[in-house]
Amino acid sequence: GGIEPKLYQKVGCDFTLGYDNKNSFPVCIQVNQNGDNKFTPSPFDRGQPTLFLPGEHQNVFTITISKDVKWHLTAPHSDLELEC
């Protein structure tokens, strides 16, 4: 099992993200500064999902960044680095 954050499209500094939940059941991971579901540097909450349905889900949300960020997702531990 596990959940992997994924990048689906990058246009300039706009990133369209999603995830792949390899479990056969939904998983809820709240956004929090302890690192279970957060971006660094802050703001920790950039509109990422908290409910991860089974399977691959593309184009779930889009963020625009002005500096490099990382999406930390603990399910188990997985990071996605985004460079602008």
Q: What is the DSSP letter of 32?
A: B
pLDDT tens digits along 15-73 = 999 999 999 999 999 998 887 999 999 999 999 999 999 999 999 999 999 999 999 99
Reference 78, options 25, 26, 24, 22; nearest CA is 22
Measured CA to CA in angstroms, residue 73 lies from 11, 12, 60 at distances of 23, 24, 15
**CA 3 – CA 67 distance, rounded (Å):** 25
**CA 83 – CA 33 distance, rounded (Å):** 21
Give the global pTM: 0.90
**CA 84 – CA 73 distance, rounded (Å):** 20
Statement: residue 75 has pLDDT above 80? no
